[in-house]
Amino acid sequence: MSEKRKILLIDDDSVMHDLVRAFLTRVGYEFISAMSGEQGLEMARSEKPDLILLDYLMPDLDGVEVYRRLREDPGFEALREVPVIMLTAREEDGHLRSRMLEKGVFAYLSKPFGLHELRNVIENAFIASEINRRNRQLQDEIRRARDYLQHVIDAAPVGVFATDTEGKIVLANDFMARLFQVDSPQKLIGRDTLSVGLGGAPEPLAAVRMVLQEGESYATEHLRFHSPDGRLLYLNVRVVPLREGDGNLRGAIGIVEDITEAEKRAVEMTMLTQIAQAMQGTIDIEEMLHLILTCATAGEALGFSRAMIFLISEDGRELRGTMGVGPSSPQEAVAIWSSLSHEKMSLPEFLEKYGRRKPDPRSRFNNMVKELRHPLEESDCVLARAVREKRTFVVEHGRLKSGEPAQCEWFTEVFGTDQFVCVPLVAGGRTIGLLVADNLYTGHPIDDSLVQLLTLMANQAGLAIERARAHADLAAQKKRLERTIEKLWEMQERLVEAEKLATVGQLAAQVAHEIRNPLVTIGGFARSILEAPKSEEEMKVIAGVIVEEAQRLENILNNVLDFTRLSKPKPERSDLNDMVQKALFLVQDELEKNKIRLEKKLAYDLPAVYVDQQQMRQVLLNLLYNSIDSMKGGGTLRVETGLRDEEHVFVKIQDTGPGMDEEVLQNMFNPFFTTKSDGTGLGMPIAKQIVHGHGGRLIVDSKVGEGTTFTIVVPIKGEIARTAEEKEALHET
């Protein structure tokens, strides 16, 4: 130490002054002295000595009083730690000595004392003083560190606590105090972790017991905790054992996390999902509305007292009360809640049981809602505003959050509340109605998170209602369509009947006319024979004519029979190519005789068709003969088969004959229309009827001077069967 230590002697004995000064300055101390207590105190204040030697017996102020002032009076704060050595000339007074030592006097020296003894005591005092100083410094540091730690723990956004081996809390932070709602963390110290939660089961810190028993860390997640003020909190608690250096269990430390907000959001999301799923389960509009209102009032969901839906009339001018769900009176509310609380059901179970049905027709509340009408135009009522502005409004004491009056006195009069929330139901950018809910019976405030949730649900509800409506429209349209189709079928059947009759009538008339010609001829010659004798030559001619005409009559008769008898085709699996080949074989002679060249182009991969082979052969032959007849002077006959589309095959028969003019084209399918002197005029009508009977088409394309093409189009699957199947299927749906 560079500076000399300063020692103050307070003593009324001047001999003592000289003696001690001489000695202490010699051994390297700076020495100052005072002759009285007052003077000593003065000097101590001004000189700030490092050590004070204080005489016990002095006039005016004795040593005990001086010491007291040094230690207690203001003005001596800087000297509080300065060691004081009491000097006394008195006989050994054990009592005083121990009293003073207790008060902090470092040593007690009885006069006379040796100077070396004094020096030893002084040096010891300095050493002790240094030790004390360091000790205090350490303690300060320890205190600061502890304060810092406590501050850190208190500021932590999670609850932090520690327990002893008994599970009693020895440390807790502010978060814990707030969680258990006590004034300060100190109030938790000493509390048992098994009862700190006020017995609200389950105890949030019960994990401590597990940790203390098992010696292993333990975590509980999503713990439901009812805080003392009744709020439901969700906590994550993690506890680990606290061990000493030797491995012995000293207690437990734990962290408590409040995950209520996140949990709430997760629960809300789950709930909305469940609600959305429930809504997707129904398409009946009334069931849908009831489901929406059940969600709004279900305790597990939004838990409103009552909820109602207003829909906007088709002309957009009026709000119409459509459905209400909720108790009609406080008594009913209590009854419903108590019965529901017995059935512990998840939301989906609840909605399944109570949501998916139509409202109870006896519900007074529902009936009350259904009678309500409110004009939308020129109304400043909050309900009309919610529709117009597509906004959610919360009404409290008849006022909006903005302070504007809600202007809903009519509503308050009917429902007895001026606290409610109204949420627009929007679908496709258009407001289709309103969802209104209140807490009349519980009196719970309508808080923002609830409103937000209701709005989210209303968004889904709007779409769901729209979907249900669309489905109802669709169902009505389907019904109309079904009736129309039904009528069409009837009409078609009647038409077919009428057409059949007309065809038969037409046929009868045609037959009548057609047989007239041969009859005229036969009868004419017969009369001629009767009226005048004929030569043998003449008779031969006449007989030949009669035979020929009789043959003609027979032909007509056969064709007529074919035509009228055309039974329903008996389809069998057939290879159209094969049928074409066989038909061509039959006309081979005719082709050669008339010098007609044949070009075949048959599709090798033609799918099998279901046709009446006999009938179809007749059609093919008829068309082939027609073509051959049109090319008496020679030409080219092209026959082609192939796929027309995915469902039809075709046979094309093309000639290079003179072609047909407009008149012939128009009449060619009329019975008895013929351009041949020996034709019956029934070939084409019969061919057409057969093809149509197979659900196919017979297409004619002809140009005068170029030739004619007949195309038979046949469905791959038997059309008759399919028509029947389709008709049946339509009746079933």
Partner 1 sequence: MARILVVEDDDNQRLLYKMELSREGYEVDVAADGQEAIDKVKANQYDAVVMDLKMPKVHGLDAITEIAAIDKELPIIINTAYGGWQDDFKSWAAQAYVLKSSDLSELRVQIQKAVEKRQKAN
> Which of residues 1, 15, 201, 532 is near partner 1 by CB under 8 A?
532
The footprint of partner 1 on residues 536-565 (CB under 8 A) is 538, 541, 545, 548-549
Alpha carbon of residue 133 to chain centroid = 70
Identify which of residues 418 and 538 has a Cβ nearer to partner 1 in the complex: 538
- End-to-end, the C-alpha distance of the chain in Å comes to 112
CB atoms within 10 A of CB 230: 6
Q: For partner 1, which is the closer residue by CB, 483 or 516?
A: 516
DSSP 8-state code for residue 717:
S
CB of 623 to partner 1, least distance (A): 21
SS3 for 4-39, per residue? CCEEEEECCCHHHHHHHHHHHHHCCCEEEEECCHHH
As measured in angstroms, the least distance from the Cβ of 540 to partner 1 is: 12
Kindly state the helix (H) or strand (E) to which residue 701 belongs, with its residue range. strand 697-703
Nearer to partner 1, 567 or 677 (CB): 677
Nearer to partner 1, 513 or 593 (CB): 513
Q: Which residues, numbered 68-87, are part of the site for partner 1 (CB under 8 A)?
A: none
The residue within the footprint of partner 1, chosen from 316, 375, 524, 607 (CB under 8 A), is 524
Work out how close the CB of 670 gets to partner 1 at its nearest, in angstroms, rounded to a whole number.
12
What residues between 93 and 132 interact with partner 1 by CB under 8 A? none
Task: Check: CB of residue 8 under 8 Å from CB of residue 83.
Answer: no
Q: How far apart are CA 323 and CA 310, in angstroms?
A: 7
528, 551, 614, 666: which one binds partner 1 (CB under 8 A): 528
Enumerate residues 6+ apart whose C-beta is below 8 A from 400: 382, 393, 394, 406
Distance CA 236, CA 46 (A): 63
Closest CB to partner 1 among residues 294, 521: 521
Q: Pick the closer one to partner 1 by CB: 22 or 526.
A: 526
527 near partner 1, judged by CB under 8 A: yes
Name the minimum Å distance from CB 698 to partner 1: 24
Nearer to partner 1, 358 or 527 (CB): 527
Residues linked to residue 635 through DSSP beta bridges, in sequence order: 596
Which element (helix H / strand E) includes 233?
Answer: strand 232-243
Task: Give min distance, CB of 514 to partner 1, in A.
Answer: 8
Query: To the nearest whole angstrom, how small is the minimum distance from the Cβ of residue 516 to partner 1?
Result: 4
How far apart (Å, rounded) are the C-alpha atoms in residues 187 and 182?
7
Return the structure tokens found at 12. 């009324």
User: Among the candidate windows 358-366, 524-532, 602-610, 699-707, which touches partner 1 by CB under 8 A?
Assistant: 524-532
Helix axes 683-693, 536-565, angle to 10 degrees: 20
Q: Hey, is 627 helix, strand or coil?
A: helix
- 494-523 positions binding partner 1, by CB under 8 A: 513, 516-517, 519-523
What character string, x for contact with partner 1 (CB under 8 A) and - otherwise, covers 650-679? -------------------------x-x--
Q: How many CB atoms lie within 10 A of CB 669?
A: 15
Exactly one of 474, 526, 598, 704 binds partner 1 (CB under 8 A); that residue is 526
Structure tokens at 137: 């410094």
74: how many CB neighbours lie within 10 A of its CB? 6
Residue 29 touching partner 1 (CB under 8 A): no
Of the two residues 527 and 727, which places its CB atom closer to partner 1 in the complex?
A: 527
E strand or H helix that includes residue 386: helix 382-389
CB of 684 to partner 1, least distance (A): 16
Q: In this structure, are residues 620 and 687 in contact, taking their beta carbons and an 8 Å threshold?
A: no
Tell the smallest beta-carbon distance from residue 667 to partner 1 (Å): 11
- Report the distance separating Cα 134 and Cα 155, nearest Å: 31
- The nearest distance, CB 542 to partner 1, in angstroms, is 8
Q: Footprint of partner 1 on this chain (CB under 8 A)?
A: 513, 516-517, 519-528, 532, 538, 541, 545, 548-549, 675, 677
